[in-house]
Structure 1
Amino acid sequence: MRRRLITHATLVTPSGVLADHALLTEGGIIAAIGPAAELAEHSANGVEMIDARGAYLLPGLIDLHTDTLEKEITPRPGADFPIDVAIHELDRKLVACGITTVYHSLHMGYADAERSASSRFTRRDVVAGVRAMAGAHTLARTRIHLRYEYSGHGVEVRDLVEALIAEGAIDLLSFMDHTPGQGQYSRERFIAGQIKQGKTEAEAIAVLADRQARPKLTLAALREIGHSARARHIPVASHDDDTPEKVSQMHSAGVNICEFPITLAAAHAARTLGLDVLGGAANVLRGGSLTGNLDITSAISAGAVNGLCSDYYPPAMLHSVFKLWRERVLPLTQAVEAATAIPARAAGIGDETGSLETGKAADLILVRLRGDTPTVLQTYVQGERVHTAGREADHPTAAPSLDLAV
């Protein structure tokens, strides 16, 4: 791997924001960080020089939950595209958004979602497709987040979930329960939604009763699955917790991540137990929940949510970071950590990536603000440039350089 010196950049590091600094990459890792003048000595010997001209240099974003692959494969019901094509194209979009590590969230046992997609691909097909493409065929670090629906049809696929865990085929497991009457679907909201679809109130209540009568794994069963995953160093998340009691139950099942808590009380309970709590970046960027649930910006202000994931809109990751800083919800260092170091720690990869520190992987993004809008100029994964939106100009010198005055 070539050596690169990114100089005259504004680095966002764990110790603060460092103006007119430089970062040297070598062998895919961060080899040195320091004032631009001090690292100028590395500009010889064939090192590629990149003059950032004040642009922000951040660690690459780490997205533990994005639903976008499912839509990339089947953008309309029944309209399937080859899995490798979908991954290939989405991969390029992700690095352009500044995401260098992605955990594609793939539902398992969620019959309603499978019925809606009408895809010919099985869940096994999709998992195998991601595994086949990850690494040598993708630009971003590509991993699998298996979202296990443990009610309804999910009870029937428990063996498959446990097999995938045992095979090491997944990198993150989360527990979901979309039974109406709890979680993100309160009784009132579910009935109102059914009536909006044309049902009478009596019919809506009958549908509610039918859904609530579906089988569901016991907490003891969840504990067996969750602790089996943790024993294999697979992090485990809970999904849509609505009460402190639910958070406590999930924690007892090996959960170390609480994602998309429904209430502030649940989010606070998770932080009290030491869980990392992830909110949707789309919620931050849009200014609230699409479904009227917890406002993530307010929860971050309250110290109840400490991390971000894209949920369904990958560009929101970077935009929400700068929005949180611009609106003085968080200092820039903490806003960046919410999309980098916190998810890295939660996923158990914090020793490898997630911050600008010597010895860590050179997963980097150069960002310039155009008004209030952050633009990714370049993305690096393990020191290799995988995306550029700037203009390259080869100077007639021994060391090629790149000018980022765009």
Structure 2
Amino acid sequence: MRLHLTGAEILQDGVLAQGRIGVDAGKFTDASGGKTVDLRGFRILPGMIDMHGDGFERHIAPRRGAMRDMRVGVLSTEAELAANGFTTAVLAQFYSWEGGMRGPEAADRFCTALAATRGTCDTDLRLQLRFEVNLLDHYAAFETFADQVGCDYVVFNDHLPHDKLAAGKRPPRLVGTALKSGRNPEVHLKLMQDLHARRDEVPAAIAGLAARLAAKGYRLGSHDERTAEARTTWRDMGVRIAEFPETFEAAEAARAGGDGVVLGAPNVMRGGSHSGNVSAVDLIRDGLCDALASDYHYPAARVAALQLAEEIGLAKAWDLVSAGPARLLGLTDRGRIAAGLRADFVVIDPETGRLGATFAQGRATYMSGEVAARFIS
């Protein structure tokens, strides 16, 4: 589709100014031609890129047994992503002892469904595998699995309640988490206790796996770290992306070491962490963020970026959901509006923040209201 978009304010090279831009063969072009659409009164911004989102879980598992074909859930996820301005999205799938929709078997089913939808989605749906590091007997199987499903981004997680287990106490919400995993609560507790008992074996196992994955070109991330020492340890193993650091100290250590920092957009929306961790807004003010991720709520990224724009300016705020994540993911063909790059963009009402259209590689993935009327007139 060839388009010639005129009249809108366009965010290019850090400057928002009225202008025009062309779209041809899925890329931006400076040339005119094709259907002319007057978007006066609206803004054209780079398409959004989600570094980490697990909101898809409610699409593939809305209720136990309700989703027989996960492909339907993947396609529903794409529709929600497009309706929230995403043109590229990393879907963060667990490979965890937690079981249920986060266990290895569920990861296999999800990755199979995701692969089956490739070529049918205009939104670029990418895969992140979140590996629970205490699964010591699964390291070889996980590495083989990651290679087979075409994953290139692995994040190391540790969700064991070590403090409670070390104190001999039952973790909170044990019954609920056990039922979600499909296990008897006592069986679930025994599994956690057994994994906790082998915790001293974990660092060496991680180092070996991280080295092998890095050698194969994987991007590697860590999750929820609290100390500068932890970040240094991860960096020394080639793990260069810090997801959701929980303290200023950890985020500052990441920045000092040249590592990427990903923060959660819901934290920005709320003005703070739901669990009492450091405020994402405070970290952003101090320049300690490269990318905002939707985390568990896809609408949060756009809302957070527009909220931040009032304080740090639209260019810097929008960079956190477009060019910033593109840089961390090594995607040099997107994240900005420039001739020759992928025509990934959104059309937004500057007065309300409402999304009027999303285009991925020059193809409309979402459109509504007055913007839709202008395109079809």
Q: Which TM bucket (shorter chain)?
A: 0.7 to 0.9
Identify the match of residue 236 of structure 2 among 252, 275, 292. Answer: 252
- Residues 1:214 and 1:77: Cα distance change in structure 2 (over 3 Å): farther
- Residues 1:386 and 1:173: Cα distance change in structure 2 (over 3 Å): same
- Residues 1:12 and 1:81: Cα distance change in structure 2 (over 3 Å): farther
Give the distance between the partners of 2:174 and 2:68, measured in 1 at CA: 34
Which residue does 1:223 correspond to in 2? 207
TM superposition score normalised by structure 2: 0.88
Deviation at 1:149, TM superposition (A): 0.5
**Does the 8 Å contact 2:263/2:289 carry over to 1?**
yes
What are structure 1's unaligned runs of at least 5 residues? 33-38, 198-205, 395-400
**Does the 8 Å contact 1:59/1:355 carry over to 2?**
yes
Query: In structure 1, the residue corresponding to 2:347 is in which secondary structure?
Result: strand
- Residues 1:120 and 1:15: Cα distance change in structure 2 (over 3 Å): closer
Give the distance between the partners of 2:84 and 2:355, measured in 1 at CA: 7
Alignment RMSD (CA, Å): 2.9
Matches within 5 A, 1:127-206: 127-134=111-118, 136-151=119-134, 154-167=135-148, 169-181=150-162, 193=172
**Does the 8 Å contact 2:93/2:102 carry over to 1?**
no
Deviation at 1:311, TM superposition (A): 0.3
Q: Would you say 1:387 and 2:371 are equivalent positions?
A: no
Which residue does 1:365 correspond to in 2? 346
Query: In structure 2, the residue corresponding to 1:379 is in which secondary structure?
Result: strand
Give the distance between the partners of 1:25 and 1:227, measured in 2 at CA: 42
- Residues 1:352 and 1:187: Cα distance change in structure 2 (over 3 Å): farther
- Residues 1:168 and 1:89: Cα distance change in structure 2 (over 3 Å): closer
Matches within 5 A, 1:51-66: 51-66=38-53
Deviation at 1:402, TM superposition (A): 4.9
- Residues 1:216 and 1:7: Cα distance change in structure 2 (over 3 Å): farther
Deviation by residue 1:50-87 (Cα, 9 ceiling, x = unmatched): 11113111111111111122221112345434210000
Query: In structure 2, the residue corresponding to 1:76 is in which secondary structure?
Result: coil
Deviation at 1:257, TM superposition (A): 1.0
Q: Would you say 1:314 and 2:313 are equivalent positions?
A: no
Give the distance between the partners of 2:195 and 2:205, measured in 1 at CA: 20
Deviation at 1:236, TM superposition (A): 1.0
Deviation at 1:160, TM superposition (A): 2.4
TM superposition score normalised by structure 1: 0.82
Identify the match of residue 111 of structure 1 among 79, 83, 97. Answer: 97
Give the distance between the partners of 1:187 and 1:52, measured in 2 at CA: 60
**Does the 8 Å contact 1:180/1:211 carry over to 2?**
no
Deviation at 1:275, TM superposition (A): 1.0
What are structure 2's unaligned runs of at least 5 residues? 177-188
Deviation at 1:215, TM superposition (A): 4.2
Query: In structure 2, the residue corresponding to 1:297 is in which secondary structure?
Result: helix
Query: In structure 2, the residue corresponding to 1:218 is in which secondary structure?
Result: helix
Give the distance between the partners of 1:227 and 1:358, measured in 2 at CA: 38
Identify the match of residue 101 of structure 1 among 88, 93, 96. Answer: 88
Which residue does 2:185 correspond to in 1? none
- Residues 1:220 and 1:58: Cα distance change in structure 2 (over 3 Å): same
Identify the match of residue 355 of structure 1 among 310, 317, 336. Answer: 336
Number of matched pairs: 363
Which residue does 1:200 correspond to in 2? none
Identify the match of residue 196 of structure 2 among 186, 207, 212. Answer: 212
